[in-house]
């Protein structure tokens, strides 16, 4: 029979078992951490009606969308988790209790140009808090705590959460009579770090006709630096120019004031006036997270406050705040950088049981006992030479191998070999389970990511 060459589409991540285990660990940490902050898990369809999914229309993503007909239906695959959330909240409004806090970890689809490290199918891990008409700024202040807890639990230390507030920017530019140019200005100053202040100034004055003295003032405004408190103090010098700016200062002040109570160390946080995020969407606090040793990766967790989640579906005003982690890309980059801790177990089982007798009952009963005690046990029943059986455990990294021969069965004991140290014990099953569990706990110390 002619064979079809098996292949996986380019831009689609398909992991081998060991890295998949690492990915599962990361997802488990995200699920648990998000839950600690009172977010409920959500799952929405991958396919939506195109008219619903693309209600907002236009935009750069539209040509990347996987869109197709099935029968009479015009369907599309979701390209993020925000639009499905907007739909969900508008549709189930009467069944939800607000503020509604949900997390969702799911695959999204974008037919981007194939490129190393760019994915067409990738996981996003999102959290959002949605209010009904109003939403307390406390929710904005809490986001850095969630980012910090998530990344530090994953094992990262050298990262920084950068925060800004769009009201400060919009208020300040309005105070300079530059409200209509705010978008262009923000896009330009976003490059400040890269191209330097002189270049920014010349773009502002030449390309966007910003008066030179305003450009000077913008650069002065942006030059506030140092700790969050120091930046805040510098910004206080601009208070009183504009109501929106003052409101932004209050909100940013709230975020900074409660960092310590939220357990966020000062070194993992910075106020950064150059970040703006999605220009037509965010309206208050905005967030970026960078790995200090890998700035080239860009932000690994971003988001912000918005005023109107579901405006394309409902008249109801639903403000919210949310962040998103591009999980597949993050996992890929961590792997490329050698930052995935190889010492954590990735084996499919904790113990491999090798029956050495014709009657398999004792070996099976032992496996059952292991499993009833939460130890992941695999029975090995293949007809192979002894050496090959043990080598099966080595190849998979299974940490313990148990031998059960006539003698052991007669004496009610179990021979158990630690594959890493070579140490072999002969103990009764209960003591063996105890030993294995203690060993597993030690092996599972340490975080998924190492710097």
| 96-135 positions binding a copy of itself, by CB under 8 A | 96-97, 99, 101-102, 107, 109, 111, 121, 131, 134-135
> 314-333: which residues touch a copy of itself (CB under 8 A)?
314-315
Q: Distance of alpha carbon 376 from its chain centroid, rounded?
A: 28
Cα–Cα dist 265/269, whole Å: 7
What Cα–Cα distance (Å) separates residue 239 from each residue in 42, 141, 171?
41, 21, 10
User: Least distance to a copy of itself from the beta carbon of 39, Å?
Assistant: 6
What Cα–Cα distance (Å) separates residue 443 from each residue in 313, 334, 375, 395, 418?
50, 21, 14, 17, 12
Which of 29, 79, 88, 163 binds a copy of itself (CB under 8 A)? It is 88
| Cis omega (within 30 of 0) for bond into 171 | no
User: Of 304 and 362, which CB lies nearer to a copy of itself in the complex structure?
Assistant: 362
User: Of 7 and 116, which CB lies nearer to a copy of itself in the complex structure?
Assistant: 7
User: Of 368 and 424, which CB lies nearer to a copy of itself in the complex structure?
Assistant: 368
| Segment interacting with a copy of itself (CB under 8 A) among 81-89, 163-171, 205-213, 440-448 | 81-89
> 20-49: which residues touch a copy of itself (CB under 8 A)?
20-21, 23-24, 35-49
With CA atoms as reference, report the closest residue to 84 among 54, 58, 39, 125.
Answer: 54
68 counts as binding a copy of itself under rule CB under 8 A: yes
| Segment interacting with a copy of itself (CB under 8 A) among 88-96, 179-187, 335-343, 428-436 | 88-96
Characterize 157-177 residue by residue with b for buried, 16 or more Cβ atoms within 10 angstroms of its Cβ, and e for exposed: eebbbbbbbbbbbbbbbbbbe
User: Of 143 and 203, which CB lies nearer to a copy of itself in the complex structure?
Assistant: 143
Cα–Cα dist 188/206, whole Å: 12
User: Least distance to a copy of itself from the beta carbon of 379, Å?
Assistant: 6
Give the pair of three-digit tokens for residue 311.
């405006």
User: Least distance to a copy of itself from the beta carbon of 255, Å?
Assistant: 12
Which of 1, 194, 358, 410 binds a copy of itself (CB under 8 A)? It is 1
| Segment interacting with a copy of itself (CB under 8 A) among 183-191, 307-315, 318-326, 436-444 | 307-315
> 235-294: which residues touch a copy of itself (CB under 8 A)?
257-258, 260-263
Cα–Cα dist 218/204, whole Å: 10
User: Of 226 and 374, which CB lies nearer to a copy of itself in the complex structure?
Assistant: 374
Cα–Cα dist 415/406, whole Å: 11
Total residues belonging to the chain: 451
User: Least distance to a copy of itself from the beta carbon of 356, Å?
Assistant: 14
> 389-428: which residues touch a copy of itself (CB under 8 A)?
392, 395-396
> 137-196: which residues touch a copy of itself (CB under 8 A)?
137-139, 142, 145, 149
378 counts as binding a copy of itself under rule CB under 8 A: yes
94 counts as binding a copy of itself under rule CB under 8 A: no
Radius of gyration of the chain measured on its C-alpha atoms: 28
Which of 59, 112, 117, 136 binds a copy of itself (CB under 8 A)? It is 136
Q: What is the DSSP string of 380-443?
A: ------HHHHHHHHHHHT-SEEEEE-HHHHHHT-EEEEETTT--EEEE-HHHHHHHHHHHHHHH
| Segment interacting with a copy of itself (CB under 8 A) among 95-103, 177-185, 419-427, 442-450 | 95-103
User: Least distance to a copy of itself from the beta carbon of 401, Å?
Assistant: 13
Cα–Cα dist 99/426, whole Å: 57
Cα–Cα dist 374/357, whole Å: 25
Give the pair of three-digit tokens for residue 5.
């060459």
Which of 202, 223, 225, 361 binds a copy of itself (CB under 8 A)? It is 361
Which of 374, 424, 430, 434 binds a copy of itself (CB under 8 A)? It is 374
């Amino acid at each position: 029979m002619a064979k079809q060459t098996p292949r996986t589409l380019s831009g689609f991540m398909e992991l081998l078992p060991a890295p998949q285990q690492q990915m599962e660990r990361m997802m488990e940490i995200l699920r648990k951490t998000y839950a600690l902050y009172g977010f409920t898990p959500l799952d929405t369809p991958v396919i939506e009606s195109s008219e619903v999914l693309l209600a907002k229309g236009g935009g750069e993503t539209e040509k990347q969308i996987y869109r197709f007909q099935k029968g009479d239906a015009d369907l599309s695959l979701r390209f993020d988790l925000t639009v499905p959330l907007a739909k969900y909240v508008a549709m189930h409004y009467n069944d939800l209790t607000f503020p509604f806090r949900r997390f969702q970890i799911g695959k999204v689809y974008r037919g981007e140009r194939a490129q190393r490290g760019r994915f067409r199918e990738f996981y996003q891990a999102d959290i959002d808090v949605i209010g009904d008409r109003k939403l307390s700024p406390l929710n904005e202040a809490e986001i850095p705590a969630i980012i910090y807890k998530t990344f530090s639990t994953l094992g990262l230390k050298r990262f920084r959460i950068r925060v800004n507030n769009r009201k400060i920017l919009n208020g300040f530019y309005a105070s300079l009579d530059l409200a209509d140019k705010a978008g262009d200005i923000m896009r330009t100053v976003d490059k400040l770090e890269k191209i330097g202040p002189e270049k920014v100034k010349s773009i502002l004055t030449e390309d966007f006709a910003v008066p030179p003295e305003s450009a000077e003032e913008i650069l002065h405004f942006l030059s506030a630096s140092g700790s969050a408190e120091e930046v805040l103090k510098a910004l206080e010098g601009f208070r009183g120019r504009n109501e929106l700016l003052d409101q932004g200062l209050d909100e940013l002040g709230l975020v900074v004031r409660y960092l310590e109570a939220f357990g966020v160390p000062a070194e993992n946080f910075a106020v950064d006036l150059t970040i703006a995020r999605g220009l037509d969407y965010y309206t208050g606090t905005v967030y970026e997270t960078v790995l200090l040793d890998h700035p080239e990766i860009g932000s690994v967790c971003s988001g912000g406050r918005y005023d109107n989640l579901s405006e394309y579906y409902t008249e109801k005003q639903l403000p919210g705040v949310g962040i998103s982690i591009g999980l597949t890309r993050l996992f890929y980059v961590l792997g490329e950088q050698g930052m995935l801790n190889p010492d954590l177990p990735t084996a499919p089982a904790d113990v491999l049981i090798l029956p050495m007798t014709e009657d398999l009952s004792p070996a099976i009963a032992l496996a059952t006992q292991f499993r009833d005690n939460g130890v992941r046990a695999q029975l090995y029943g293949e007809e192979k030479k002894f050496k090959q059986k043990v080598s099966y455990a080595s190849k998979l990294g299974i940490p313990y191998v148990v031998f059960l021969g006539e003698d052991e069965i007669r004496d009610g004991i179990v021979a158990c070999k630690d594959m890493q140290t070579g140490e072999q014990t002969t103990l009764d099953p209960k003591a063996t389970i105890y030993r294995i569990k203690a060993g597993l706990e030690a092996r599972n110390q340490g975080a998924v990511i190492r710097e």
